[in-house]
Amino acid sequence: MGLQYIANNKGNRIAVILPIEEYRELLGKLEELESIRAYDAAKASRMHQIDE
């Protein structure tokens, strides 16, 4: 199916429609990225405490 776009009355793309499986995959990747960022922040915080 691929991506589908919704356009306004001027023809500008304002939204995208994607298959639910692609959406779920994106959500999974986002959650993984958030976990990595939280880990990195916690690690940096611990490193900062050790340096003090």
7 belongs to a structural domain: no
3: pLDDT strictly greater than 90: no
52: pLDDT strictly greater than 60: no
Predicted confidence (pLDDT) per residue in 11-50, tens digit:
999 999 999 999 999 999 999 999 999 999 988 887 666 5
The number of folded domains in the chain is 1
If you write DSSP's letter for every residue of 1-52 in order, what string do you get?
Answer: ---EEEE-TTS-EEEEE--HHHHHHHHHHHHHHHHHHHHHHHHHHHHHHHH-
pLDDT reported for residue 1: 66
39 belongs to a structural domain: yes
Q: Which domain holds residue 35?
A: 20-52
